[in-house]
Homo-oligomer: A and B are copies of this chain.
Amino acid sequence: MLKNDLLLRTLRGEATERTPVWMMRQAGRYLPDYRKLKEKYSFFERCQRPELAAGITIQPVDQVGVDAAIIFSDILVVPQAMGMEVQMVENKGPILPDPIKQYSDLHKLHRPDVEEKLGYVFDALRLTKKELDGRVPLIGFAGAPWTLLCYMVQGKGSKTFDEAKAFCYTQPETAHALLQMITDTTIAYLKGQVRAGADVVQIFDSWGGLLSPGDFENLSLRYIRQIVAALKEEVLTIIFAKGAWHGLSAMAATGADGLGIDWCHTPESARNWAGPDITLQGNFDPAKLLSPIPVIRKEVTEMLNAFGGRRHIANLGHGILPNVPVDHARAFVDTVKDHQYR
């Protein structure tokens, strides 16, 4: 039994005594205890050793007071489990040295047995669940197929992911075969996360905003829709497609329980497009946590009032930045917890 199930009730559309709050990337570099572990263990050691991943996952629950834990991991564990090499290069981001460029490259990939290849994530979820002891719900996650394709084809981060797009435009059949392989793997992976104790799963489409509305539907949303449909009966789902403002009402129609929104929406415009029957999550500008604390308090209060306290999960509009002081993160969380709606 959960002692704090605000997040789950809000996703189900139930009225709650206050607005739940968590922060994307809350288990991360702005926390000194995380940075200490980072000095000692490589990125994938931190993901793969359940006691490290569980400890990192719980840090922001203990230290910042968020209403949910999100498992410490990375979206690129899925391409890795499918057979690709993924290197995490400090201050440079991920490198996939042998990217997918043509149809014959798909033979390098396989649909993995997720228990075998990604069992360490499930172990971390089980251990976290045990250590949380019902304090807050636990969120699992995966990357959206389009975002994973971006890395698998481009081979590294990019402002435009032009090579990934060119791959889709010049070899659409290969692109769709790859997207379907990623989708199938992701469904199996997320079902495993649910079996291991995830109360909610979030799908991160970090690069959905690079696509035109037509391409977003064709290359991203149709696969997200499959994932949501496959998970719908088992778990609460949240979609977050950064920058894909035009897709909000189509995303709401997938049957997901929640939609992450970034700070380019006003709460009013987001609600208007998404309709009344879905929970909205967001949308504080992460850079605004670099403001003085009184400014943070004032702007968080304005955001909360604009969302109006119904079907809203307070969060940032993207991941917390590594240079945010911990007391600023706490001011964000505390302002939400103390808020009285007018």
Most buried by B among A211, A244, A269, A287: A287
Determine the chain B residues whose CB is within 8 A of the CB of A212 once the complex forms.
Answer: 263-264, 266, 285
Closest residue of chain B to A318, judged by CB? B160
Q: Which of A159, A160, A169, A245 is the most central at the interface, judged by chain B CB atoms within 10 Å of its CB? A: A169
What 0/1 pattern do residues 162 to 176 of A give for CB contact below 8 A with B? 100110011000000
A32, chain B: closest CB distance, angstroms? 19
Whether A265 sits at the interface, judged by CB under 8 Å, is yes
Q: How far is the CA of A323 from the CA of B170 in the complex (A)?
A: 15
Contacts of A161 in B (CB 8 A): 287
A: number of interface residues (CB 8 Å)? 32
**Cβ of A244: which chain B residues have Cβ within 8 Å of it?**
264
Which residues of the partner chain B approach A162 to less than 8 Å between Cβ atoms?
Answer: 286-287, 290, 321, 323
Q: Does A134 have its Cβ within 8 Å of any Cβ on chain B?
A: no
- Asked if A165 and B246 make an inter-chain contact with CB atoms under 8 angstroms apart, the answer reads no
Query: Scoring A residues 191 to 228 as 1 if CB is less than 8 Å from chain B, else 0, what string do you get?
Result: 00000000000000000010111010000000000000
| A–B complex contacts, Cβ < 8 Å, 30 sampled | A159-B159, A160-B286, A160-B287, A160-B321, A161-B287, A162-B287, A162-B321, A162-B323, A165-B285, A165-B287, A165-B290, A166-B287, A166-B290, A166-B291, A169-B290, A169-B291, A169-B292, A170-B291, A211-B264, A212-B263, A212-B264, A212-B285, A215-B285, A243-B243, A244-B264, A245-B245, A245-B264, A246-B265, A246-B266, A246-B269
